[in-house]
Amino acid sequence: MLPRIILLTTGGTIASLQTESGLAPAMTAQDILRLCPGLAGQAQIEARDVFSLDSSNIQPEEWQQLARAVCDAALHCDGIVITHGTDTMAYSASALSFMLQGLNIPVVFTGSQLPLNHPLSDGPGNLSEAFTVATHAAPGVYVAFHHKVIYGTRAVKLRTLGFDAFDSINAPAVGYFDADGLHMQHAVAPCGQVSVSIPPEEMLLIEPRVFLLKLMPGTDPEIFDHIIRAGYQGLVIEAFGLGGLHYIRRNLLDCLGALSEQRILTLVTTQCLYEKADFSIYEVGRHVLQSSVWGAHDMTTEAALTKLMWVLGDRDKRLPLIGRCLAHEMIEEAF
């Protein structure tokens, strides 16, 4: 008997049609299945539309809606495939990685760089591979795109036009496709996963008021006052190199102390795409450690941002988990 897979659609390029205003999501889940008849040979498929949006419009509220749809679907299937626009797919996949901890089936995000009805679309191949992953992978959240299988917390979009749009950052891809089919490499799991005992509905709680700040030489400390006044509860800082912040003339370190006094949680990561932030190497980094902020270690920016939102969703219970590996987001324990 074929495995039971539920297809959840959210819009994106894969479901777009040409309009007078440009490409816009318009295809339903059933339209997608009609354009990909070969999927019927891979699984017993049920298709559901969750929403239909350009992924630039998918925000934390949509993550919660999608996570609830996954929880409902998970009761009736062996795996789930989610079609999603590529622009914010890495954010959504990372967010759901934290919100769906403990789910006992695979959840696989995919999409395309060209609409499904385009003669050169990469959509049919990506969908077929996503369905294969959904029927063979261990429980967890993945991105399946252009022959790669990537943990949801490790995926980053690197290209705007190339079909090979995503890569796995700071961890090997968990799987890949070649002429022999799917090869999963679960032995490369970045770290031992922490078991989290939280009821499923509570797991979906997140706090969207988190700001992302990329430092540049000369960043004015006044920006931190605006963050406080705007009511943000968390801040992710993309610092220089291993985690440096300037403190001559424009002292950002004092600002971090002010954030702590306002109970605003801060995660500091690096602007470098690869490798980790390590505050212990340089003097400027050691000052950060003395300012009572948290290091994001080797997490992607998308993972750092969504993990902080998830932690702040139930701050008192989840804060001890901020430095623990929960969903393959870091290679080693940060603290």
pLDDT digits (tens, 9 = 90+) for 185-239: 864 444 545 566 677 788 999 999 999 999 999 999 999 999 999 999 999 999 9
**What is the CATH architecture of 4-188?**
3-Layer(aba) Sandwich (3.40)
Task: Give the Å distances, CA to CA, from 284 to 12, 187, 268, 279.
Answer: 42, 37, 13, 8
Mean pLDDT of 252-260: 86
Look at residue 278 in the predicted model and tell me its pLDDT: 75
Whether the pTM exceeds 0.85: the reply is yes
Name the pLDDT band for 66 (thresholds 50, 70, 90): very high
Residue 256's pLDDT is what?
86
Percent of the chain beyond pLDDT 90? 76
Q: Give span(s): CATH 3.40.50.1170, the chain.
A: 4-188
CA distance 171 to 293: 25
Q: What is the pLDDT of residue 192?
A: 47
Of 93, 185, 126, 130, nearest in space to 5 by CA: 130
Confidence of residue 335 (pLDDT cuts 50, 70, 90): very low
Token digits for 24?
A: 């816009």
Q: Is the pLDDT of residue 279 over 70?
A: no
Residue 141, Cβ density class (10 Å: 0-12 exposed, 13-18 middle, ≥19 buried): buried
Confidence category of residue 332, pLDDT binned at 50, 70, 90: low
Each residue's pLDDT tens digit, 263-275: 999 999 999 988 8
Q: For residues 289 and 276, which has the higher predicted lDDT (pLDDT)?
A: 276
Residues of the chain with CATH 3.40.50.40: 200-321
CATH class name, domain 200-321 = alpha beta
What would the mean pLDDT of 319-324 be, rounded to a whole number?
92
* Structure token digits, residue 114: 């060209």
**Mean pLDDT along residues 42-61:** 97
Confidence check: pLDDT of 55 > 80 = yes
- Are 240 and 269 a contacting pair, CB within 8 Å? no
Q: What six digits make up the tokens of 233?
A: 């509860």
Residue 130 and residue 151: Cα distance in Å, rounded? 13
- Of 243 and 310, more confident: 310
Nearest-angstrom CA–CA distance, 35 and 31 = 6
Q: What is the pLDDT of residue 171?
A: 93
Would you please indicate which residues are annotated as catalytic (active-site) residues? 13, 86-87, 157, 282
Residues in contact with 203: Cβ distance below 8 Å, sequence separation at least 6, in sequence order: 99, 100, 101, 102, 196
- On whether the CB atoms of residues 86 and 111 are closer than 8 A, the answer is yes
- Three-class SS of residue 66? helix
Which of 17-31, 77-91, 245-259, 316-330 has the weakest average pLDDT? 245-259
C-alpha 327: how far from chain center: 10
Mean per-residue pLDDT for 141-167?
A: 97
Average pLDDT value over all residues in the chain: 91
* DSSP letter string, 180-227: TEEEE-GGG-SSPPPP----HHHHT-----EEEEE--TT--THHHHHH
Q: Is the pLDDT of residue 250 over 50?
A: yes
- The whole-number average pLDDT for the span 173-191 is 80
| CA pair distance 219, 73, nearest whole angstrom | 46
pLDDT of res. 292: 63
pLDDT in tens, 104-120: 999 999 999 999 999 99
| Cα separations in angstroms, 48 against 15, 31, 204, 208, 237 | 13, 11, 20, 26, 37
